[in-house]
Amino acid sequence: MMNIPTDVFANILCRLPVKSLKRFQCVCKSWYELIKNPNFIIQHLHQYSNNKNVSENCLLVTHTTPCRCHPTHLEPADHVNSLYAYNMEEDVSLHLLDLPYRDEKLYLDIFGPCNGIYCLHHLRSIMLVNVALREFQVLPELSIQPHRCSMKNVGFGFDPKTNDYKVVLIVSCGHKEAQTLCFPRQVLVYSSSCNSWRKADDTVPPSVDVSITKSSINTYVKGNFHWLVAYFVPGDVTAYYRVLCFSMFDEVLREMGLPSCLTVVQDEDIVYELASYNGSLSLIVYPFKQQEQWFDVWVKQDYDDDDSWTKLLSISLVTGFLKPMGFWRDGQFLLEDCSGQLVLYDQSTHNIKKNLCFYGLDRYFSQAIFYSESLVSVIDRG
């Protein structure tokens, strides 16, 4: 092996999973320096992420409570958020890590991935995580303390121009009586390169009552993070839907329209949810009532044109499904049924291809997103 050129050897190693490379760092000093080299990390990021077998993995975020019917390692007061890597083709799940929060029924939001990095948001903290490296970077506390009644909406993305991972936080009041007591809605931005928060120049328009809705599906598209917002004009009982997006490049907020036929909310039992579909911004529309089983998918063909929304498909499902969890490949969708199972549904054949259920514990799927590995560290990026 001493006769193998360095570039050829690096090309071999960059095709391996992170777990193997972490072990190989201990072989010798030259291997350690190679695997830690920033150029190799970038090479591995591009080469390994294009591996089809790897891209079939899904990151499952579950919320667990003790099941009375089965003895577990959990104490009665424990509520655990867990991360699993699930391979769609092999139908095998791998437990990655637990994030326990004792005595609290609090759920975890996860955003990403961006180059193998995820953003985890819990009521008490926000952190950047490289799951494969088992690295956590807890974000510093806010220098501007929000009002106690405030609501926080989180976004996460990457600025390739500055090689900077950013977390955007929209702080707004969540209690009508406190509207006059707190600041107008503020936009705070965290930069991983300097490990600090700062106040962005933009604010959410305060002229009307705006309700910002978070999505359980990834909405980071084309360098922008997206939220669905409902505008309530004083004296008007009608809600008007728009899209609020934040650019990770220039840190500017702007609004985007929805399909003209869906701008006005006419039925409170219909759910709108933004998502990323094959690299394009999309909108999922489905009924809140479980006895009605269907969902429509709209896709924005031209990102900069509000009139380019097209209904991609409309699907009617058999009974028993609860909600869509996201999009997969080749016309497949991730759905959660009423029994808590995760289902991979093929809309072209109308077949259920996979079922995934954890027995012995009461588990609820809060999110299902792509699993991505990288050697990119979230520690000491400054």
Instruction: Compute, in degrees rounded to 10, the torsion defined by CA atoms 145, 147, 148, 150.
Output: -110
User: How many Cα atoms occupy the beta-carbon half-sphere of 70 within 13 Å?
Assistant: 11
DSSP 4: S
Structure-block tokens of residue 98:
């637990």
Q: Are 190 and 376 in contact (CB under 8 A)?
A: no
Q: Which CATH number is correct for 51-370, 2.120.10.30, 3.40.309.10, 2.120.10.80, 3.30.70.3400? A: 2.120.10.80
Q: 15-29, 86-100, 368-382: which has the highest mean pLDDT?
A: 15-29
Over residues 267-295, the mean pLDDT reads: 81
Residue 248, pLDDT score = 94
Over residues 270-289, the mean pLDDT reads: 86
223: left (phi over 0), alpha (psi -120 to 50) or beta: left
Domain spans, the chain:
1-50, 51-370
The contacts of residue 217 (CB under 8 Å, 6+ apart) are 273, 274, 275, 276, 284, 324, 325, 326, 327, 367, 369
Give φ, ψ of 50 to 5 degrees: -90, 0
Q: Which of 237, 238, 125 is nearest to 190 (CA)?
A: 125
Q: Is the pLDDT of residue 73 over 50?
A: no
Q: Is the pLDDT of residue 100 over 90?
A: no
Q: What is the pLDDT of residues 203-251, one digit of tens each?
A: 665 555 567 777 778 899 999 999 988 877 667 667 778 898 999 998 8
Q: What is the pLDDT of residues 286-324, one digit of tens each?
A: 887 666 678 889 999 999 888 899 998 888 776 666 678
Calpha distance 128→142 (Å, rounded): 15
Q: Is the pLDDT of residue 146 over 60?
A: no
Q: What is the pLDDT of residues 102-141, one digit of tens each?
A: 445 556 788 988 999 999 887 778 889 998 888 888 899 8
Any bridge partners for residue 300, and if so which? 309
Residue 239: its H or E element = strand 239-247
Q: Report in angstroms the alpha-carbon separations of 149 from 170, 173, 180, 228, 234.
A: 14, 6, 12, 21, 21
Rg of the chain over all Cα atoms, to the nearest angstrom: 22
Q: What is the pLDDT of residues 238-269, one digit of tens each?
A: 777 889 899 999 888 888 888 888 777 656 67
Single-letter amino acid, residue 343: V
Q: Is the pLDDT of residue 69 over 50?
A: no
